[in-house]
Amino acid sequence: MKKDHVLCASMVGLAFTAAQAADPVRLSHSVEEFLVVVGTAVACASSSAPQTTNANQYWRSFTLADFGITDAVTISTLEVGIETIRLPVRLEVDVTFNLYQAPAGTAPAFGLELIGSSVVTLTERSAEVVTIDVTGVVDAGRALIVEVNVPNLRSATGALTGDVYFPGANPFGQTAPSYLSSAPCGITTPTDYAFIGAGFPDVHLVLIAVGETGGGTGCRADMDGDGALTIFDFLTFQNLFAAQDPRADFDGDGQFTIFDFLTFQNEFAAGC
């Protein structure tokens, strides 16, 4: 552990109505939302020089009811703090931003229902909050789970490169925990920073979700987003499955199998 510098169903069209009103939504647990403090971040990284970060996942959980929200919510962007991206070898890194939904009060975990995903290529930067486009609909009464998934920055042979990604954080308070998972450091499930090793209670990730109430169907089976369940949703699902797009991982196990087809067909048959 390194702390900063050291550390087929019936294809019948079904109509349904989306929420009528759309109010802005900002889901944040950060007391200070816009300031990234250098030296605060914690990530799993090599203990030898040149320091190189391993595969890390950074997480936040937002229960809609905690923000007084009773409707479904469409997320459109994330505001993501970055302390340091230094890339002397790679020059750029592809980072995956995932949105999941789960029952209210659920902490981050693997295997949740994926509702949106975006892979973004990032270059070197420091002490910055960046805006990431990623869309997903959270059903009413649920929790949104956000994951920032950063790959292992060692070389293909496992050699240290000096490439690092440290998330943006500050110590100014939070209303719910920040989480880290990283198999190379033995953190196999998302874990509150306060309970990692000797504890890092002052690591408060800047990771904010922005969107609006309503504004979407809230129905995963409506793959083409036209507000009705038709054969075109089947075709869209099949194309996403063939491309191994995360949106086609309907059973949330991280793999693309017949069970994704069965889960999609069951949700299609149940309607929205």
Domains, the chain: 2-7+36-213 (2.60.120), 228-270 (no CATH)
| CA gap 130, 34 in Å, rounded | 10
Q: Letter for the amino acid at 109?
A: A
Enter the pTM of the model: 0.76
Q: Are 142 and 165 in contact (CB under 8 A)?
A: no
How far apart are the C-alpha atoms of 148 and 228, rounded to whole Å?
A: 31
Distance, in Å, from the CA atom of 146 to the CA atom of 207, rounded to the nearest integer, reads 8
Per-residue pLDDT reduced to its tens digit, 116-165: 999 999 999 999 999 999 999 998 888 999 999 999 999 999 999 999 99
d(CA 71, CA 65): 9
Cis bond upstream, residue 190 (ω within 30): no
| Exposed e or buried b per residue across 14-24, where buried means at least 16 C-beta atoms within 10 angstroms of its C-beta | beeebbeebee
pLDDT tens digits along 72-110: 999 999 999 999 999 999 999 999 999 999 999 999 999
Residue 267 confidence class, pLDDT cut points 50, 70, 90? confident
Q: Bigger pLDDT: 253 or 267?
A: 267
Helix, strand, or coil (residue 6): coil
- Other Cβ atoms less than 10 A from the Cβ of 217: the count is 21
